[in-house]
Amino acid sequence: MRNKAKVIRLFIMFTFSLITLITVTFAWFIAIDKTDPIIIKSGTLKVSASLYIGLDTDEDGNVEESEYSIVEEPINLTNVLPGNIYYFKLEIENLGSVPGHLSVDAINIIYSDDIMKNTFKFDFVNPKSSEEETLFIFDEEINLFEDFVIYKESSLQFYFRIIGDEIINTDMQGHSLKLSSFLITLDQIQG
């Protein structure tokens, strides 16, 4: 009988201890100040780009929109005469939900021979500065422009020309310059 009373007392003390622990824990969490939830909103960055080549059929120096056709293969410039002009249009669209910094690079430029370096040049109006620029093609990668702000759901039509320089001569016959691809980068605007 005595052991039975001890077991009942231990059970009652354990029950009261458990109830006290639960009450104190509950009171502790109720008393702690709560902060407002931190909400991080993010957007999406998605870019679409298409390259077109223009044919100046009437040779007036102006290419009509209807004279552009999409480029599906690498651009291979061969049998070029001094002063030949190739017209291009790069249509870039920000399909994302936030604005971004747009950069365009010509990459994987392949020369059949080093003699072809500095014989062609990019000629364009920089969309960021609105200034006319000319860049000689002399390396495997060339940055055309960078950090141009393109807003969400907006587009840019970037027109440029590739011009054969006056130094092209018969020693370059049979050699070529190949533009394999363009790197279009859209980076999130910090801040």
**How far apart, in whole angstroms, are the C-alpha atoms of residue 40 and residue 34?**
18
Backbone φ, ψ for residue 115 (5° rounding): -60, -20
Strand partners, 179: 75, 109
Give yes or no: residues 151 and 72 share one domain.
yes
pLDDT band of 123, cuts 50, 70, 90:
very high
Q: Which pTM was predicted?
A: 0.74
Number of domains in the chain: 2
Mean pLDDT, the chain, as a whole number?
A: 87
Residue 122 lies in a domain: yes
pLDDT band of 33, cuts 50, 70, 90:
low
What CATH code is carried by the domain that includes residue 183?
2.60.120
pLDDT tens across 140-171, in order?
A: 999 999 999 999 989 999 999 998 888 777 77
Give yes or no: residues 117 and 179 share one domain.
yes
Give yes or no: residues 30 and 83 share one domain.
no
Kindly state the average pLDDT of the residues 2-14.
84
H helix intervals, the chain:
2-31
Range of the domain at 156: 47-188
Residue 39 lies in a domain: no
Residue 41 lies in a domain: no
